[in-house]
Amino acid sequence: MFLCQKAVNVVADHTISATFEAIPSYTISVSAGNHGTISPSTNVTVMEGGNQTFTFSADACYEIGDVRVDGATVRLDENNTYTFTNVTANHTVEATFDILTYTISVTASEHGSVTHNDEVGDAVVNCGDSQSFTIVADDSCRLVRVMVDGVNVTNQLVNGVYTFSNVTADHTIVATFEETPLYTISVSANNDEFGSVTGSGTYMEGTDVTITATPSYDYHFVSWDDNNTDNPRTITVMGNGTYVANFARNQHTITAISADQSNGSVTGGGTYDVGEEVVLTALPNAGYRFLSWNDGMEINPRTIVVEGDSSFVASFKAIYTITVLSNNNEYGTVSAGGIYDEGEEVTLTAEPNIRYCFIEWNDGNTDNPRTITATSDITYVAEFSRTAHLAIDTTATSFLTIDDHTFYASGMFSYVKPSELGCDTIVNLNLRILDEPKSCDISPNPAKSMISISSEDYISSVEIYSTTGKLVLQKEINANRAEINVEWLVSGVYFVRLFGDDEGQPTVQRFIKE
């Protein structure tokens, strides 16, 4: 610093000059090794006399190793920082970082070993690494348990190996072994003349041993004395054991089965001595009958004499019940009801009584006689009637009046007209209404399942007729609107008669069932 002073008693010329220079600065060079940082991380310029602090940080699984200032190792403070004070020269600061390591302490009892990388003893593992240990029992010995940090992990071994993954702390592993116990297995035959056995001996616990029973000529193995029938048979030795093979004279097998178990079953199959008589019985399930045996015999039950191994297969045939009824026995009779084989053709006949007519079967079919094929249990009802359904000719200009509504012929339809002698069958004729009244509404029309009937007037009841004049539905309404299920009706044209609350003429409307 320069101080200015005032000249005193100046009596001549003088000169005064001042010289200045920049304050020096210095560079601190920074170098950080792998797996850590120094902050600031780049070279720092510091003015002469200034101070500079550096902070050191290690990555995960690493620690600060050697910190050098101008080549000499220095100690960091508790915050892992180092401060340059009163800087008067260039400096360098360097840091290296070391990986953390952990120790896995290994203990193995006698009768076995625990190794890592083909070495025994403790293992030093870098932080984050994995370390596997191979655990092997000596001959005639076995592993009892493996404890890791005091916890039983025996069930976690994979092919005798336990692995520490992502090691971030010290651990312990302790393996305990013991000698494997020895046990005696004795194998014998119920009679040495009937057959021989193998497999007797002394074995270590846990050993799989195969025992075999070999029958003599004209004998066969039946079972072991514990009723096990495996032969050869593998047992796992867990203690002393005795096994006796039971042999018996040869017998023959009679196999008796159903060709299709869903159709029926068969009894009488089994193992028998030669010359023994056996009764075979075929038992059909409901809806089936016995047909024959595979050798063509149709006797059931049947008796056979055992001469050798034989197979008998019973075949069954599906049967169905065809029920044929009259809608009224006073109107007519029917025939052909009964039980029939599957696929059998059956002719149904409806015989109307005098002054009655056959109309149709309950499924809408009008053939009479009628031939069907038996494919299921089913009921057919013959509809008889003594009422003429339609009496019109077959010309296209013909018409019919029902309840003051006029219909004309637009095609052909079946109907009948009874007489004193019987029923005259007329060919097909379709009707279409000419003057459909507008005082009621049916929707949707055509319809598949439900129809909605509405009217400006009160509706007391509804009747629905087929084009043959047959009343198919009658229902009380007592309202101005009704919902009716027609899903069950056969597809075609129908006529709806609406009755009011007086005795006037009913309203007729047509709808189509899809």
Tokens of 82: 């180092």
Residue type, 446: P
- Has residue 404 got a pLDDT over 70? no
Alpha helices (H) along 254-344: none
Q: Which residue has 């008998």 as its token pair?
A: 312
Q: For strand 423-426 and strand 415-418, is the pairing parallel, antiparallel, or unpaired?
A: antiparallel
Burial 175-211 (b: 16+ CB within 10 A, else e): bbbeebeebebebebeeeebbbbebeeebeeebebeb
Residues in the chain: 514
Residue range 56-63: mean pLDDT, rounded: 95
pLDDT at 378: 94
Q: What is the pTM of this model?
A: 0.40
**CATH class (in words) of the domain with range 440-513:** mainly beta
Name which of 413, 355, 348, 409 is nearest 382 in CA terms: 348
- The set of residues, in sequence order, having a beta carbon less than 8 Å from that of 16 and lying 6+ positions away, is none
In this structure, of 7-11, 112-116, 305-309, 409-413, the range with the lowest mean pLDDT score is 409-413
Mean pLDDT of the chain: 86
Encoded tokens for 7: 């000249």
Residues 6+ apart with CB under 8 A from 468: 359, 360, 389, 390, 413, 414, 415
Looking at the predicted structure, is the pLDDT value of residue 412 above 70?
Answer: no
Query: Residue 41's closest CA among 57, 24, 25?
Result: 57
Please classify residue 498 by burial: count the beta carbons closer than 10 Å to its beta carbon, then call 0-12 exposed, 13-18 middle and 19+ buried. Answer: buried
Find the mean pLDDT for residues 57-76: 95
Phi, psi at 341, each rounded to 5°:
-70, 150
- HSE of 157, CA atoms in CB hemisphere, 13 A: 19
Confidence of residue 359 (pLDDT cuts 50, 70, 90): confident
How do residues 142-195 score in pLDDT, each as one tens digit? 999 999 999 999 999 999 999 999 999 999 999 999 999 999 999 999 999 899
* pLDDT given at position 504: 63
Q: Three-state SS for 50?
A: coil
- The tokens for 392 are 């019109």
Q: What pLDDT, on the 0 to 100 scale, is given for residue 411?
A: 36
Say how far apart CA 356 and CA 332 lie, in whole Å.
7
What distance lies between CA 289 and its chain's CA centroid? 38
Residue 391 has pLDDT above 90, yes or no: no
**Residue owning tokens 């024959």:** 292
Mean pLDDT of 97-126: 95
**Distance, first Cα to last Cα, the chain:** 118
CB atoms within 10 A of CB 454: 15
Which tens digits make up the pLDDT trace of 433-488?
434 444 678 899 999 889 998 888 788 888 888 876 778 888 888 888 889 998 88
Q: What angle do CA 73, 74, 77 make, to 5 degrees?
A: 155
Structure tokens at 295: 């050798």
With cut-offs at 50, 70 and 90, classify the pLDDT of residue 304.
very high
pLDDT on residue 439: 62
Q: Measured between alpha carbons, how far is 29 from 85 in angstroms, rounded to an integer?
A: 15
Output the pLDDT for position 401: 47
3-state helix vs strand vs coil in the chain, percent to 5: 0, 60, 40
Counting beta carbons within 10 angstroms of the beta carbon of residue 337, is it exposed (0 to 12), middle (13 to 18) or buried (19 or more)? middle
State how far the Cα of 306 lies from the Cα of 276, in Å rounded to an integer: 5
